[in-house]
Structure 1
Amino acid sequence: MNKAGIVGGEFLLTEDQLDRIVTPEDFTDEQHMFAETTKDFVQREVLPHDEQIEKLDYELTVKLMRKAGELGLLSADIPEAYGGLELDKVSSTLINESLSRASSFALSIGAHVGIGTLPIVFFGNEQQKQKYLPLLATGEKIAAYCLTEPASGSDALGAKTTAVLSSDGRHYVLNGSKLYITNAGFADIFIVYAKVDGKHFSAFIVERGMPGFSMGPEEKKMGIKGSSTRPLFFEDVEVPAENLLWEEGKGHLIAFNILNIGRFKLAAGCLGGAKEAIELSAKYANTRTQFGKPISSFPLIRQKLADMNVRTYVMESMVYRTSGYIDQMLRQLPGQDGISYAKGIAEYALECSINKVFATEALDFVADEGVQIHGGYGYIQEYKIERVYRDSRINRIFEGTNEINRLLIPGMLMKKAMKGELALLDKIQQLQEELLQWMPPYEMESGEEWIAYFVQSAKNLFLYCGGLAVQTLGTKLEEEQNILALLADMMIRVYAMESAWLRTKKQLEAHGKPKAVPYLEMTQVYAEEAFEEMHRLCKTAISALAKGDTLRTHLSILKKCTRYTPSNLLATKKSIADRVLSSERYIV
């Protein structure tokens, strides 16, 4: 076990210690200060210009980004030695979440500070860091990340852009194109991926203005209209040899690990978006009247707000749990070189993908329900919820589609098991023997006991189905995308349930049950409903993996393992909705 806590993926096998789990209740005064500074900047400097930003005003966006740089909002992840604040990852995550109300502008900043700047932070050499990071920290230079091509999206290694080292070794000649590049219209520094000699996938730092480097027109997008998205073209672009990032052939390690961080940061942005959607919807529900009374008095509207708040609570618990893991891992790396960073970031790649899928789909749910609460007004641009709904849709495509991430999640788990980093197969074998004799409880003393039971049983269900999949399909499992997706959905629910439960347990231990009731209620709702989903997912998987008497045996075991006494979730949701409508915002 590493010092940061359980290793990546090990949450399926054991439960981490509470003192190693970061929750929003653990934020320091300094972290709260960064959040308030960010929110104040958005409120004072960005929102008054919202309409102009949405019309794609490059000059205004750059001006505001430089103002953000003056406040340190662009330099949280940059080391102090290069002009940054070198904040912990929890603080930078909180900044990222707090920017979300800035809509398209938040995306422009996010692309700059995340996937645009971090490749140099983690994989640049000393000369590159000294040259570029101070400029990126202030916003004097803006960064962009260039991976996607017309013929390679999810299949990033299928890129066609090439780089050839000149005969004198002084520069690489780039030829090819990139597509859907955020910040392209005003960026100065571009992290570009190309294959050296058509074979060795590598990364380069390309500067605007290099001869042969050009770009196409702005894409006309469904949402995030205030962010720049343009294609790039490289025609014999001579990039200085010293602008090769890390080493030839190491581009895939840079690209995939930066995407891991990008997926996690995207989840933090979705969290902020969900909180805004709840606030907009709760305020509207309290003021909109129908049949002589506010629609917030109608049970179906109240249930929607409760469900929105519960998913956001779970998302928040996952995001900050993961930020704590990443922060602790990076702080204990044995070195500050590319190899160390690549291994460190990769440790929680699985959890980053889980965050990305859960958060983007949770925000879509929250935004959709927000529009429904607004009714016809939610379809009108005058109301912000309409934009939240449109802007949210891209998140399931960004940073690797959710379908690709669903394939990666179980794939990364199996690789860890094969390398001996996780005792996964031993645990599966042990569990299969135990379940034959195990009998489920019929009654428990408290809701806390039921939640703990749901979490542990959900882990057992995944291990049971995962073991059956491995035994039935063997190496062919990697070709069965439908089974992999079912396993991924189980893992996502396990991590979500446990993240909410660990946060709630910390509150129970710190303050006792009376003060922890709101935490318990939201965890109870999510855990019970997710456990029902686990049953459905397992039944679907088992039915695809077995037949005849063997199928009936497996389904009998599944039925036994999913037996429980349901609680009155409607009453619990009523209590949650009361708090949301009273505060008119997301609330614990």
Structure 2
Amino acid sequence: MSTTTELNNDLLRGGQFLVKETRCEDIFTPEDFSEEQKMMKESVIEFVDREIWPQKDRFEKKDYALTEEIMRKAGELGLLGIAVPEAYGGLGMGFVTTMLVCDYISGATGSIATAFGAHTGIGTMPITLYGTEEQKQKYVPKLASGEWFGAYCLTEPGAGSDANSGKTKAVLSEDGTHYKISGQKMWISNAGFCDLFIVFARIEDDKYITGFIVENDPENGISLGEEEHKLGIHSSSTRQVFFNETKVPVENMLSERGNGFKIAMNALNIGRIKLAGACLDAQRRVIDTAVKYANERVQFKTPIAKFGAIKAKIAEMATSTYAGESACYRASKNIEDRINIRMAEGNSHQEAELKGVEEYAIECSLLKVAVSEDIQNCSDEGIQIFGGMGFSADTPMEAAWRDARIARIYEGTNEINRMLAVGMLVKKAMKGHVDLLGPAMAVADELTGIPSFETPDYSELLSEEKAMIAKLKKVFLMVAGSAVQKYGPKLEEHQQLLMASADILIEIYMAESAVLRAEKNARRFGEDAQKEQIAMAQLYLYNAVDKISQKAKEGIVSFAEGDEQRMMLMGLKRFTKYQNMPNVVALRNLIAEKVTAENTYPF
């Protein structure tokens, strides 16, 4: 792919993974990191291992000053300005590298993960992507260096998932020089030490809220509530923020009047995929800690790592991490390529990045849900491997479990994101950006046709797995296509059906990403060298088939009856049938033995 035109032709649009085949050579994997990216990764790991990991006890004791200190050190190293263009004091690196830094700086503690994400993402990014040149020159260099810290004021007591329903008001002064903002914001990360707020307020009776850049000045009608007492992320500063006729110059309006909701939604799109990335190294570190303990802990004169029950846990933990890595970096490179295409076509950096991420908003939502739930499951199994010790605050597992819990709520709850993903896909289909109708009709015809009784040739590497993924896509098209046909615009009222459909979509994307990564690596490094990666791809797919079968049944029986229901259930059975069922116990043992032998997550 030597030219932008060739890249544009080969690059799938967001959501098209469902209806178009992706070749393994067309995806990006962690094994494709450039030398510069590998150096960046090692630098971040070294920083975390030196500055953050040894201080875990202090983070659990609500040491907010430590969080601020670590963030300043991250700024001195340039880690807060990875995504910021060089013109504004940043490093101007691509989306994959920004994802990589977010991934590896976030694993040691959720407190730093939250502070870093809130500052670099929703604290800085709205100005970078929506600010005027004057706003960017004034504020972004300070934020990129860590001289200043940012926070994001959207949520209110009555406005959570329904973000546009906020009551905070912005009233223009009589002389037209400034707005007076009054209202209450809650759950504001970094509030205790930030210098700047991105604030959303409503002007008069506007339909949509408006964004403002507000400097944190207690003498300008800004006051803070006490630090919130939270289940996890103990050293993440989280406070309510009160604005009492806070004066904000008119030139500090962010973008146009009434554009706040759009800013908020686009910021969340980027935040979702970054949040998924922020969960990855947390999984790796949980696995490392659990495996080291399992290798050292002896019961019945045997290290517990050798017991089949523990092997199963380690294998599943490693497999979900592998799939998460595969999917996150696949999507990140798609976003980066789309940004580069738009810039080559003459778009500004701001417009290119906004549209590049927006293109893959479906994948961003899917990843946010999948990986946030995987880290929760991984940390839960980590506690179980530690047994009684895992429940003790003297070991790192219970803190990891508590910190993981917030990820399912951040950036839109997982329930909201499930419904969003399917809703966005249907809207894309209606706009003609993704052809769902043709493939859905083909599946409907296949259901009423005579099935083939020929035995497929699955002699090529992972060919049966790829064929299974193609069939799983038919499951989604069958269920979602019939549901759209039945309910039309009222589909959004059937939330449980939407959520079941989203789970099918999630498992397809995650399984396909793992299979394509394993295939690509086996082709270039050899099958024997990648046998554990192949096993993880096979194990993830096996689990995905089971989950998809369950969710599809749930969906089908909720809206189909009689002959239609029987036909769809028969189709489901056909589309989820293996020709050669994998030996799941053998796969788990192979994966677990590699992890325990290396005494770390080695992939």
TM-score range, shorter chain: over 0.9
Q: 317-326 or 339-348: which moved more? A: 339-348
- Asked if 1:309 corresponds to 2:321, the answer is no
- Report percent identity of matched pairs: 44
Give the structure-2-normalised TM-score.
0.95
Equivalent-residue separation in structure 1 for 2:25 and 2:176 (angstroms): 53
Paired amino acid for 1:82: Y
Correspondences of 1:144-155 after superposition (within 5 Å):
144-155=151-162
Equivalent-residue separation in structure 2 for 1:423 and 1:295 (angstroms): 51
Equivalent-residue separation in structure 2 for 1:392 and 1:60 (angstroms): 20
Equivalent-residue separation in structure 2 for 1:34 and 1:133 (angstroms): 22
Residue matched to 1:560: 574
Out of 359, 375, 383, the position equivalent to 1:363 is 375
- Kept in 1, the 8 Å contact 2:8–2:341? The answer is no
- Kept in 1, the 8 Å contact 2:225–2:241? The answer is yes
- Asked if 1:95 corresponds to 2:110, the answer is no
Paired amino acid for 1:208: N
Residue matched to 1:207: 215
- Kept in 2, the 8 Å contact 1:246–1:338? The answer is no
- Asked if 1:194 corresponds to 2:201, the answer is yes
Equivalent-residue separation in structure 2 for 1:467 and 1:280 (angstroms): 45
Q: Once the 2 structures are TM-superposed, how far is the Cα of residue 399 of structure 1 from its aligned partner?
A: 0.6
- Unaligned ranges ≥5, structure 2: 1-6
- Kept in 1, the 8 Å contact 2:128–2:350? The answer is no
- Asked if 1:580 corresponds to 2:586, the answer is no
Q: Once the 2 structures are TM-superposed, how far is the Cα of residue 445 of structure 1 from its aligned partner?
A: 3.2
Correspondences of 1:242-391 after superposition (within 5 Å):
242-333=251-342, 334-336=346-348, 340-391=352-403
Paired amino acid for 1:190: F
SS at match of 2:194: coil
Equivalent-residue separation in structure 2 for 1:90 and 1:339 (angstroms): 18
SS at match of 1:74: helix
CA 441–116 in structure 1, closer or farther in 2 if over 3 Å, else same: farther
Q: Once the 2 structures are TM-superposed, how far is the Cα of residue 446 of structure 1 from its aligned partner?
A: 5.7
- Asked if 1:12 corresponds to 2:24, the answer is no
Equivalent-residue separation in structure 1 for 2:132 and 2:556 (angstroms): 50
- Kept in 2, the 8 Å contact 1:367–1:385? The answer is yes
- Asked if 1:571 corresponds to 2:586, the answer is yes
Equivalent-residue separation in structure 1 for 2:98 and 2:158 (angstroms): 34
Equivalent-residue separation in structure 1 for 2:279 and 2:446 (angstroms): 40
Residue matched to 2:91: 85
- Unaligned ranges ≥5, structure 1: none
- Asked if 1:105 corresponds to 2:120, the answer is no
Q: 353-362 or 546-555: which moved more? A: 546-555
Equivalent-residue separation in structure 2 for 1:56 and 1:306 (angstroms): 34
Q: Once the 2 structures are TM-superposed, how far is the Cα of residue 47 of structure 1 from its aligned partner?
A: 3.2
Correspondences of 1:34-113 after superposition (within 5 Å):
34-103=40-109, 104-113=111-120
CA 33–347 in structure 1, closer or farther in 2 if over 3 Å, else same: same
- Kept in 2, the 8 Å contact 1:80–1:86? The answer is yes
Q: Once the 2 structures are TM-superposed, how far is the Cα of residue 4 of structure 1 from its aligned partner?
A: 7.2
Q: 8-17 or 442-451: which moved more? A: 442-451
SS at match of 1:458: helix
Equivalent-residue separation in structure 2 for 1:441 and 1:23 (angstroms): 35
SS at match of 2:424: helix
Give the structure-1-normalised TM-score.
0.97
Give deviations 1:200-228, integer Å, cap 9, x for gaps.
31111111105111111010001000110
CA 431–549 in structure 1, closer or farther in 2 if over 3 Å, else same: closer
Q: Once the 2 structures are TM-superposed, how far is the Cα of residue 155 of structure 1 from its aligned partner?
A: 0.5
Q: Once the 2 structures are TM-superposed, how far is the Cα of residue 184 of structure 1 from its aligned partner?
A: 0.4
- Asked if 1:174 corresponds to 2:181, the answer is yes
SS at match of 2:185: strand
Residue matched to 1:132: 139
Out of 474, 491, 494, the position equivalent to 2:505 is 491
How many corresponding residue pairs?
Answer: 588
- The RMSD of aligned alpha carbons is 1.6
Equivalent-residue separation in structure 2 for 1:373 and 1:433 (angstroms): 49
Q: Once the 2 structures are TM-superposed, how far is the Cα of residue 442 of structure 1 from its aligned partner?
A: 5.2
Equivalent-residue separation in structure 1 for 2:304 and 2:518 (angstroms): 31
SS at match of 1:102: coil
Q: 559-568 or 354-363: which moved more? A: 559-568
- Asked if 1:540 corresponds to 2:554, the answer is yes
Out of 371, 384, 399, the position equivalent to 2:411 is 399
SS at match of 1:518: helix
- Asked if 1:475 corresponds to 2:489, the answer is yes
SS at match of 1:101: coil
Paired amino acid for 1:202: T
